[in-house]
Structure 1
Amino acid sequence: MPFRAVVISLRAILALCIFMVSDFAHAELMDRIDIERHGNEVEISIRLNAVVQYLRHAPVNFGKSLRIYSRLTSPADEVLSIESTPRPGTGTAPGQPRVTENVTDILKLESMRPPDTDMVPRFTVTYPEIDNSFLVEFDRPTRFTVRPGADGRSISILVPLLPGAKDWFAQVNAEPRKPATEPVVLPTPAVTQSLPAVPESQPVPTPPHPLPKTPAAAETSAPSAPTPEVPLALEAQSAPPPPAPVVAPRTAATVPSTPPPGMQATTSSSEPAPTTSTPRPDAGTAQVMPGSTPLAIDETEARAQELMDEARQALAARQGAMAAQRLTQVLSFPENSQTETAQALMGEAREYSGELNSARGEFELYLKLYPNGIHTAQIKEKLTSLETSPARITPATTPSSSTVSIATAPLPDPATATTQVVPKTTPRSKDEVETQAKEWMDGARQAIAARRGVTAAQRLNEVLSLPTNSETENAQALMGEAREYSGETSKARAEYELYLKLYPNGSHTALVKEKLASLDQSSNRASPGLGLKPTSEPATWTTFGSISQYMYYGQSQIENITPPPPGQLVFNRDTLSLTDQKSLISNVDLQARRRDGITDTRIVFRDTDNRNFLDDSRSYNRVYTGYVEQTHKQIGYFFRAGRQVGTGNGVMSRFDGLLAGYNLNPAWRVNVVAGTPVEFGSEFQRSLYGASVDYAPELGKAGFSLYYNEQTLEGTKDRQAIGTELRYFDSRVTAFGMFDYDINYRELNIAMLQANLRADDRTNYFANIDIRKVPPLSLLTALPGQISLDPFEPTRDFRSLFFLALSNLGLDELRKQAAILTADSQFFSLGFTHQVTPRWQLGADYRQANISGVGASGILPAQPGSGTNHVVSGQALGNGLWMLNDSTVINANLIRGSNYTGQAYNLTYAVPYGPWRFDGLLRFYFQKDDQDQQQKRFGPTFKMVYRWRDKISLEAEIGAEIFDETGPLRELHTRRQYFFAGYRWDLQ
């Protein structure tokens, strides 16, 4: 049909912008969730189809529900704040100007639940939630640390490994694992034909700077981003060594922020340090470490008592990390007579390790679990002492000196409730240490002989947690081989390198160098008889996903009052009531995965069906994702074939095609991409192809990608770009940058840099600068100016308009007109979040945005820019204020635009209660412009979710928006109510 005459305004350009970015707005933001184990810590990576910057989260480090607030940058041309982006069906967020009209309003509600695993509690991730956050719901309270992902397109959550875990990656519906049989006891360390024992007559070298025993970052060949536990670079950052040699365990004595082997590692003291006390199972069999068997009740009591004795010995010797390790094991058992005292002592152990913030958290947790406990008075006294003594405590300093140590103070016995003096024990003697070390080393050698790398690593970690002894060097040398057998090539390399640092002239130096060279030569393939072995268990397909349906209904009443023309007295009043939304949205997310020690194969299919009952012509069914991918660790290749969303290297849209990569070595990788961009409703024929190279160095060094990308429009070069992505990640700093230069236009398309700095374990700083073309440089931008207004020769469609404009203007002139109609967007933000108490965080940030004007082109006149908008925000985030696991978020914004000022306030409260979750949100916005027009918006929202049988979630949300605009120009009053309800069925 011929186009009607269009209004000559910037809205024509805006309509095209919406057309170009709507593919992103409708798309799934979440790509996948990866779960990877790193020693005794597990990393949950929420991988997105857009660049994201982590801002803050609540609660701090413990709870059942976790909300993560971030800032999202779309692949196309927008910077969206997830704190303020409107949710589906809710209209415009008060206090924030729309980025584009009707684009962010249709971000679909997404939920994703990964496969069940014994490493972490079951959990679900939902976005956008009632306050536009990512919501992570665990099936039980757990500890966590949140930080930006290393790749700039993910958010990482670190949680403690559940006791008894055997998995190293997420897998469900697999055949039950058969317990490995114990190998015969072999008397000598020669069972692996690798590392002989150090002769007892040979002195054991004691390194001047004992380093914490930790594995290295994840393998760079894996699709997930590398996440370190403790970088080797910490050696240069650690505290100075003691003035005299001491025989001490390899714990956090020299680096207080880093725990010893076998404990949950924090990345540095600057990161919120999660303590390692795992929530106790309410009932059932005791969960223990891999390779062991469940304990009976009597055995549990006996083992708990033994571990408590060791914990008290460690506290007496001021070895906080060692004490925390033993207490964590006690807390992993079912409820027993030592549980309460173990929780009380955990805070003191954290004090001895210098982790004051974690100590406060442990003491607070005790008071929550045992409000009338036998240690309550002492715990409250210690908390008061901590609040009044903010100085950092070192392992050599007595914590909370104003109070008596719980470990040695008279405490009531849990069984008798009578006062009993806990005896003060002494550290193990040298002979006892040697005996224990030899016992654990025998177990490690047996595990290596049976190629059980995980069990071997556990035993070796226990040896390395002891004071330096005759087996310390052997254990460090064998640790690399244990990592090889568990398929962790990158960690094996780090372990070998650590041995060479500690023992440059050690008895195993030559053999370790040989093994290290073998790893380097064969990349991810281990040398014969030593390294990576295919899993002995048959790989099985894992199937998971979800099916959901949501019904949306919205109704509005609009009253518009305008002043009368000159000479008249009657005001014009127009009232309109209508149903503005009535639709059913159905989503299908199906995934299958097959993973073993060599290959990782994944099949993904996602489809959305939108039935619009108000206008059936706007109904649609779209397959947003459908691909097959595979990673081969030995050969080093990766490919993904099918419909997918570009996530970097210059690909900014969804496309049907192939993405393939090959690892030249652990640090370098080359990639190619080719396909056809997918834009629903577009009539244009497009193609794209490109190549890139990635450099992913070890932790603490900058990585980068270089790319070339070309895209054609109806056979004409539409985009020809070169660019780079910059990445840096260590225990304190995360940075991501992107620069995209279009060769055809000879202009910079994108220049952005974002960074996070964890100054200490309570403060996170973030900054972002983003300069880009809006929309991205493209020939399509020139088309609105070429629309014909001649009724006898109307423009029939954009595709014919493109060929006509190309014929009339030529390619160079068409590019020139496109550049004229492309605006420059500048965005800058800077802020911080600081934990002031165990229950409260405070944050503030400043944001500045500006969009330039555009020149005249064809039928379109020049348009002025938006001017510079300034927003100053303050946030207060609380948790556990009235109920266990509840969260409160208060957000206040002061806004100043080029011709208006405004204020916006949000209050969010959420609380889980059994299988229920209740969320409430209040929003208020006030604005006044330079023509005395005033706007007021008030929006209450309430949502409830019920989890039924762990597989089906029923949820409903009701909300309203009350809008009033008054002033000399007009009056406008709008009342809108909306409601949605639906279900999600998790397929596991």
Structure 2
Amino acid sequence: MRRAGALAVLCATLVGAPAAKAQSLLVDAEAGFDAARVCPTLVVRFAAPLDLLVQSGGQGASRIDLILRPDGDDTTEILEFDAPVTVPAPVSSAVAATGIALEQSGADLVLNITFARPVVTDATMAPDGRRVTVAVAEAGGANACLTSLTGGGDARPVDPSTPASDDGDDGDDGDLSGIEADFVEARAAITAQNYNRAIQLLTRILSAPENARSAEAQELLGVVRERNEQFAQAQAEYEIYLERYPDGDGATRVGQRLTALLTARGAPPAPLRTATDGTLARPDDDEPAGEDISLALDQAAARPRPATPARDTRRPVGDPDDAEEEESLPKLEYSGSFTSRYFFRQETARISDFDTARRSVDDFVLQNSLVNGVNFRGVYETADYILSWRADGALEFAFDDEEENVRVSRLYVDYDPKRSDLSYRFGRHLVRSGGVFDRFDGLTASWRRDEAFSAHVQIGSPVDSVRDPLFEFDRLTYGISLEFEEVFSHTDLSIYAFEQRAGSEVDRRNIGFELEYEDDVFFASAAVDYDISLDKLNYARVSATRRFEDRSTLTFSLDYVQSPTLALTNAEQGQAGQTLDQLLETFTLAEVRQFALDRTTASRSATLSYFRPWNDTWLFNADATVFRTEGNPASGGVPAIAAPGTDVYASIGVFGSGVLSESDVLSASLRYADTSSATLGLIDASYRFRPTERLRVRPRLRLGHRDLKASGGTEIFAVPTVTIDYEVRDSTQLELEVGGRLSRTRTPTTLDNRTETYAFLGIRQEF
């Protein structure tokens, strides 16, 4: 639905620029973290603006489909492609994505993301339409991320005697040392009675996949919430522990604490005090549960831990005999992974023209490339500061044109002095504060006064693509964001302001806020972004979710989005390659501002979604979206684009876990779309099973039919695939996917039969 980006592509074609290749539309993907929802995230980037219309199969499934709308009918021919295109999935067990593919489906695009385990997800599109962020929580788990997405666990409890995931991963790739560091810091925060900080750290540990500290963190989170007089939350945390770890070492102790909490008379437990020896002491000898928090900490640390992966380079934390070694400084920790993936796609097109009786057969290679990626993280800690770094990048070699493409998604260093409230990050990184920026090269300085308030200042240059050279600084961006937690009861607020300059002119000057409210049964959020330079609303969103006792949820959202994001440089679109400075030599600044507004398209949407677990095996979800986009007026020599009208999308899906065997996963969904260019019906079914402990097989079949409104034709298509994952050993995984797409498109004058086959082979080595 984002027509402004379509205008750029169309006008470039009219002035002789080569048409955009479908392969370039899908740029890259990476793993991240959403601190607000305490969720790991998968971020997928696109070369052109797209709209996210609906998410299907995302609640408790091992794959999701995101239906995206390109920039209207004018780009259908330019962006039309029948073969799915892919980018490598990021190496992260927290996200556990195993495949990312984009394919054409009528006038729409379908972004298919597969995961190594059943997940609950929430996808949001950035205001500029070039980035979709998917928050990922493991289905069947019990952690803060899952709670933030659904209001509670949505699948069967995880057996603590088995790994939380069935993909053989032992933890977040490279994040195990981070988990240990968070646990040590959480213990220190508890000792200092900084309970809010401890809650934040323990929640972050629990947001990761099941790991060596999950049980301890779950117990301590309940204890800390109780000491922080958050009695309802403490009760919930204790109950989660007993549900997930009924035979755990702390089950008896947690049961006693829960009983004491439920039977306590009126007055809440007295706050902890610091003993003369520096340990935490009980306020009263007759305190319920019979144990102080320091004892709980010591017992948690002394309990036997599951074996950590060999790639964890630091000494295991928690052995009392090694306490001095554990805290000895300075110390160095590092981890990482290397991936190598080969992609091949080939298509055969057989076209018959009824009028001329001509037939043609064309064979061509869509993709033949090797992508090598590296992920490296490290931490160096002294008594005075913590220095950490991260490098994520890839080198792609295309065999057909023998070209190499370097991608740098992250390359930064963090400096965190221990005796200061300030911290710094420099390099290529993501700025998440207040939703101000995307990726940029530069410096972020953060100041946290306490858990209720923090401030962030950024200065640098925006990065449009991971292929951009480092520190190009073609535009200057600077801004500030302020975050307030519990500004009102159950309410968090973030406000921000920033400016971006292109040469001597202001490109963007935005102010905005994000407001979130959440209690036990209701969640609501609102966000507004306004460009005060162009004097126009850039983005607005209101969303509300109601959680019910049967664990079902109902969500309604309204969106208003400008695409691309309002900026003075939008005036360059359709101007035959003229830059902003060149336009200002011919037109006045007021005229150029109007051109920028005319090249920007507003869209409105309303979405209603419902999710409900039927029982311990089956889950159900349904959603519907109504979408409407404005047109673009003619100005500056650029022709007008008419509004495409109203589009309607709907889907229903079911997901089953443990249907035929304990480890299998079955999912099926039906999708319907009525758009300005086509009417689409799609059936999607998949089944995952494990023949052996280290082998996982996932066959999948999609069958679709669409009526093409412009040509009066019809298309039927089938997309069968088989994905095989094999764990050679704990640190080495092999991936194989083979499949194809068969389609037949009949119009009054032509018959088009296409057969596409593809294969993907990859290996991942962790260290």
Q: Provide the secondary structure at the position in 2 that maps to 1:277.
A: coil
Name which of 420, 431, 437 aligns with 1:652: 437
- Cα displacement (A) at 1:761: 5.1
Show the counterpart of 1:722: 511
- Cα displacement (A) at 1:813: 1.2
Show the counterpart of 1:411: none
State the AA in 2 paired with 1:773: Q
- Cα displacement (A) at 1:79: 2.9
State the AA in 2 paired with 1:662: W
Name which of 318, 334, 349 aligns with 1:543: 334
Contact 1:661 1:670 (8 Å CA) reproduced: yes
- Cα deviation per residue 1:918-950 (whole Å; 9 max; x = unaligned)? 112111111114453111111001100111110
Q: 1:145 aligned to 2:142?
A: yes
Equivalence map 1:831-980=2 (5 Å):
831-898=609-676, 900-912=678-690, 913-930=692-709, 932-980=712-760
- Cα deviation per residue 1:606-658 (whole Å; 9 max; x = unaligned)? 111111111234x3112221011244565322221111123243533321101
Contact 2:198 2:224 (8 Å CA) reproduced: no
Name which of 555, 560, 568 aligns with 1:771: 560
Contact 1:109 1:126 (8 Å CA) reproduced: no
Contact 2:53 2:69 (8 Å CA) reproduced: no
Cα distance in 2 for residues equivalent to 1:806 and 1:926:
49
Report the RMSD for the aligned CA atoms in angstroms: 5.4
Contact 2:28 2:46 (8 Å CA) reproduced: no
Equivalence map 1:572-651=2 (5 Å):
572-594=358-380, 601-617=387-403, 619-631=404-416, 635-651=420-436
Q: Provide the secondary structure at the position in 1 that maps to 2:595.
A: helix
Q: Provide the secondary structure at the position in 2 that maps to 1:264.
A: helix
Cα distance in 2 for residues equivalent to 1:174 and 1:897:
46
**Measured at CA, do residues 597 and 921 of structure 1 come closer, stay the same or move farther in structure 2, by a change above 3 Å?**
farther
**When the two structures are aligned, how many residues end up with a matched partner?**
648
- Cα displacement (A) at 1:777: 1.3
Equivalence map 1:417-428=2 (5 Å):
none
- Cα deviation per residue 1:243-266 (whole Å; 9 max; x = unaligned)? xxxxxxx9xxxx7x9748865359
**Measured at CA, do residues 605 and 721 of structure 1 come closer, stay the same or move farther in structure 2, by a change above 3 Å?**
same
State the AA in 2 paired with 1:784: Q
Q: 1:561 aligned to 2:561?
A: no
Q: 1:26 aligned to 2:2?
A: no
Identical residues among aligned pairs (%): 19
Cα distance in 1 for residues equivalent to 2:117 and 2:419:
34
Contact 2:41 2:95 (8 Å CA) reproduced: no
**Measured at CA, do residues 847 and 551 of structure 1 come closer, stay the same or move farther in structure 2, by a change above 3 Å?**
same
Q: Which runs of 5+ in 2 are unaligned?
A: 1-5, 102-111, 120-137, 162-170, 182-191, 208-217, 264-269, 302-323
Cα distance in 1 for residues equivalent to 2:737 and 2:766:
20
Cα distance in 1 for residues equivalent to 2:84 and 2:383:
43
- Cα displacement (A) at 1:232: 11
Name which of 494, 499, 505 aligns with 1:710: 499
- Cα deviation per residue 1:139-171 (whole Å; 9 max; x = unaligned)? xx995136657999xx999998979xxx9x965
State the AA in 1 paired with 2:640: A
**Measured at CA, do residues 482 and 667 of structure 1 come closer, stay the same or move farther in structure 2, by a change above 3 Å?**
farther
- Cα displacement (A) at 1:452: 6.2
**Measured at CA, do residues 146 and 979 of structure 1 come closer, stay the same or move farther in structure 2, by a change above 3 Å?**
farther
Show the counterpart of 1:667: 452
Q: Provide the secondary structure at the position in 1 that maps to 2:573.
A: helix
Contact 2:561 2:603 (8 Å CA) reproduced: yes
- Cα displacement (A) at 1:475: 6.6
State the AA in 2 paired with 1:144: G
Contact 1:832 1:844 (8 Å CA) reproduced: yes
Contact 2:99 2:115 (8 Å CA) reproduced: yes
State the AA in 1 paired with 2:427: G
Contact 1:899 1:929 (8 Å CA) reproduced: yes
Cα distance in 2 for residues equivalent to 1:22 and 1:579:
12
Show the counterpart of 2:40: 46
- Cα deviation per residue 1:791-813 (whole Å; 9 max; x = unaligned)? xxxxxxx4x54332121113221
**Measured at CA, do residues 127 and 847 of structure 1 come closer, stay the same or move farther in structure 2, by a change above 3 Å?**
farther
Cα distance in 2 for residues equivalent to 1:22 and 1:156:
38
Show the counterpart of 1:811: 589
Q: 1:471 aligned to 2:286?
A: yes
State the AA in 1 paired with 2:396: N
Q: TM-score, normalised by structure 2?
A: 0.71
Contact 2:454 2:483 (8 Å CA) reproduced: yes
Show the counterpart of 1:79: 52
Cα distance in 2 for residues equivalent to 1:262 and 1:596:
36
Show the counterpart of 2:214: none
Show the counterpart of 1:108: 87
- Cα displacement (A) at 1:224: 5.7
- Cα displacement (A) at 1:719: 0.6
- Cα deviation per residue 1:854-904 (whole Å; 9 max; x = unaligned)? 111334311122322111211101010111121111110122223532211
- Cα displacement (A) at 1:574: 3.0
Show the counterpart of 1:125: 96
Show the counterpart of 1:412: none
Cα distance in 1 for residues equivalent to 2:50 and 2:613:
34
Show the counterpart of 1:414: none
Show the counterpart of 1:348: none
Deviates most, 934-943 or 808-817: 808-817
Cα distance in 2 for residues equivalent to 1:11 and 1:894:
28
Cα distance in 2 for residues equivalent to 1:150 and 1:559:
51
Show the counterpart of 2:483: 694
State the AA in 2 paired with 1:556: E
State the AA in 1 paired with 2:96: V
Contact 1:222 1:633 (8 Å CA) reproduced: no
Show the counterpart of 1:821: 599
Contact 1:220 1:226 (8 Å CA) reproduced: no
Q: Provide the secondary structure at the position in 2 that maps to 1:853.
A: coil
**Measured at CA, do residues 963 and 173 of structure 1 come closer, stay the same or move farther in structure 2, by a change above 3 Å?**
closer
Equivalence map 1:401-440=2 (5 Å):
none
Contact 2:706 2:714 (8 Å CA) reproduced: yes
State the AA in 2 paired with 1:561: S
Show the counterpart of 1:202: none
Contact 1:937 1:961 (8 Å CA) reproduced: yes
Equivalence map 1:977-988=2 (5 Å):
977-987=757-767
- Cα displacement (A) at 1:953: 0.5
Cα distance in 2 for residues equivalent to 1:222 and 1:322:
20
**Measured at CA, do residues 608 and 852 of structure 1 come closer, stay the same or move farther in structure 2, by a change above 3 Å?**
same
Name which of 246, 254, 269 aligns with 1:277: 246
Show the counterpart of 1:378: none
**Measured at CA, do residues 602 and 31 of structure 1 come closer, stay the same or move farther in structure 2, by a change above 3 Å?**
farther
Q: TM-score, normalised by structure 1?
A: 0.56
- Cα displacement (A) at 1:738: 2.3
Q: Provide the secondary structure at the position in 2 that maps to 1:819.
A: helix
**Measured at CA, do residues 835 and 74 of structure 1 come closer, stay the same or move farther in structure 2, by a change above 3 Å?**
farther
- Cα displacement (A) at 1:780: 3.1
Cα distance in 1 for residues equivalent to 2:50 and 2:446:
27
Contact 1:216 1:230 (8 Å CA) reproduced: no
Show the counterpart of 1:210: none
Show the counterpart of 2:108: none
Cα distance in 2 for residues equivalent to 1:845 and 1:8:
30
Q: Provide the secondary structure at the position in 2 that maps to 1:854.
A: coil
Contact 1:171 1:542 (8 Å CA) reproduced: no
